[in-house]
Structures are given as structure tokens and as C-alpha cells.
Amino acid sequence: MTAIWDLPDYDAHEAVHLFEDRESGLKAVIGVHSTHLGPAAGGTRFWHYADNSAAITDVLRLSRGMSYKNAMAGLPLGGGKGVVLADEARIKTPEMLAALGRAIESLGGQYVTAEDVGMSDGDMVEIRKQTRHVAGLPTEDPAKAGGDPGPFTARGVFLGIKAAAKFRLGSETMDGVHVAIQGVGSVGGGVAELLAKEGAKLTIADIDDARTAEIAEMAGARVAALDEIMTVKADIFSPNALGAILTKDSIAALDVAIVAGGANNQMARPGDEQRLFDRGILYAPDYVINAAGIINVGLEYLGDYSRSDVMERIAIIPERLTEIWQQSEAEKTPAAIIADRMAQQLIGR
């Protein structure tokens, strides 16, 4: 058996905490990659894994990603992530969430959680009963701290797409710019709406037919087949569904000048960033362009929340992307590599 220290994704994590609560059935791992900039913040995922080591690998990759994302967003937060190892039926009980809350509380603020795949804002309310180190709580008032991060993420991605169109196409507006969007859920649907308001030409695809029809009508978009969306001739491809969609084959088949979207972990394997760069396609590093949700969640946790502060920080996303692209061109190095280097410098690695 490989020890955690020897795993390829270990990357000198400050801590990896394993929790088991037999009474409730909770089994969880919390990875704390870095607290260099502040408490390690990142959501907790509720997922059924094939085995324990798959869960540990997932937490290690995700928590390092949060260190990079929070640092590049300019937040005084480090990076961490939790995973709960669900059973096959993915049964989640209030007792399990209470045990998770106690586990997080036992870390004394070293780790701050929020929702991730399989967790809702209602689950955060349960966790909040045990610890104050949680954000992403529901709110009725849109001007108050908390709430769904999706619309914030959509705004940040929209601003990033505009910056990319300006940088690569010299376009000051999105009027007539053709964007192919994969996934029109919370983030992609919001991006489609904002782009449509600026006159962009849209092609969309989503596995959810009802959602596709709703967004197509609202945004005046053409609907493409699921296996067509990554080969559509357009100015921009915007992935907002799954990760690992940029593979050797899909990169070769892209017919766009720019890839800019909110999906996490878009590159399938190391080396894909170089392939994209070699094809001359401008890439917006995922954890930079999709950071607006964590900006809202992070400021909620840090307190003294104001909506204008959130919006000001989101407005920095296109500036940061432009800085990355300029450096990428000057050094003839893929944007994803430049972004990683900048993030590592910020977290002192």
C-alpha cells in the first residue's frame, strides 16, 4: 500500500485528516494543502468512490486546486477540500452532517467548508449547527452574504470571455461574436444569458433537453448535438459542464480561436495545455476564470460582507487573465503553466 506522502498528488500538503464516526457512518477526508494566505477554504464533496485511495487522490488534487484558485483570486485564504465517502446509494443523514461539522470544528478554523458536488446549501445549515467554519449558507436577501455561487461564477466567466475576445479578436463588444457553450446549467446558463444580452451569436449543447430548450429560447441560441459542440466552427468554445474535456483528440478537432469556460479541471492530462498552445488557441485557465463563486463564498466567511466588494474583486478576473496571456505570449509558454507559476509564487511554493 502506498503511503499518503508517496502519492503523486501529495504535493507537500500541510495536513491530510481522516475522520470516521461509526455511529453516523461518516467517513471523510479533509485535505489542507496550504494555509500560507489564510484558512484553507474549499467545499466538501459527497461522492461514492470506487475505493479509499480514489477518495484521497481526489481530495489532494482538489485541495491544491483551491490553493491556486484562492491565491489567484486575491483572497486571504489558503486551499483545502473535503470529501465524504458516500455508500453506493449515496445516503446522507443529518447525523452524518453533524459528525462532519464536529470534524471541521475540531480543526479549529484551519479548514473552512462550503458546498460542492453532492452537497446543498441546506446541508451547510446542518453543518453550521456544529461549527462556524462554513460558508455558502442560503439567504433570502440577494444583497446579503451567502447564496448560490453559480450566478457569481457566471458573471466572472462572462467577463473573462469578453477579455479573451478583446485580447485575441480585438473585439470591444460581444456583438456578433460566436460562442459555443457546452453545458447550460447554473454557470453555463448564466453565461449564455449575459452573452445574449450583448448580442453574441450562441450555439449550445446540454444533456438536459428541457434546460437546453429553455436556454435556447431565452438566448436565441442554436442547439447543437452533444458530440458536435466541441467541433462547431466558432470564435470561442466555452466548457461549462464536465472536466477533462480537453484531450489530445478534442484539442485537434477544435475550430475556435479561444477556449474560456467555467468547468473545473478542463485539461485531461499534463501536456494538453501545450497542445492547445501549439494550435494557437488562447486558453483562459479554469481556476482563474471560474473564481467568482469562491470570491462570494470567501467574503461571506471572512465577514464584513458587501456586494460591492464582491463585484470589485470579480472585476479583477479579466485583468488577471490578460496579465497571464501577455506573459504567455512573451515567454511562448502555455497560459495554464504561467497561471500555475503565478499561483505557486503567491502561496510561497
The residues of the shown chain that bind ligand NAD, judged by CB under 6 A, are 149-150, 153, 182-188, 205-208, 211, 226, 240-243, 262-264, 290, 293
b/e map of 4-30 (b: 16 or more CB within 10 Å)? beeeebbeebbebbebebeebbbbbbb
Neighbouring CB atoms inside 10 A of 252's CB total 9
Residue 19 or 78 with smaller CB distance to ligand NAD = 78
Distance, CA of 130 to chain centre = 26
Residue 290 CB, shortest distance to ligand NAD, in Å, is 4
Residue 142 or residue 348: which is nearer to ligand NAD going by CB? 142
Looking at beta carbons only, is 26 or 285 nearer to ligand NAD? 285
Q: Which is nearer to ligand NAD, 57 or 290 (CB)?
A: 290
Rounded Cα distance, 171 and 115, in Å: 36
CB of 265 to ligand NAD, least distance (A): 8
Query: How many other CB atoms are found less than 10 A from the CB of residue 155?
Result: 22
Amino acid at 111: Y
Question: How many angstroms separate the Cα of 31 from the Cα of each of 79, 165, 294?
Answer: 9, 37, 17
**Identity of the residue, 19 or 49, whose beta carbon is nearer to ligand NAD in the bound complex:** 49
Q: Which residue is nearest to ligand NAD (CB)?
A: 185
78 and 48 in contact (C-beta within 8 Å)?
no
Residue 299, C-alpha cell as written in the block: 467574503
Instruction: Write out the catalytic residue numbers.
Output: 81
Q: How far is the CB of 182 from ligand NAD (least distance, A)?
A: 5
Buried b / exposed e over 174-208, threshold 16 CB at 10 Å, is: beebbbbbbbbbbbbbbbbbbbbeeebbbbbbbee
CB of 285 to ligand NAD, least distance (A): 12
Closest distance to ligand NAD from the beta carbon of 253 (Å)? 15
> Reduced to 3 states, what is the DSSP secondary structure of residue 101?
helix
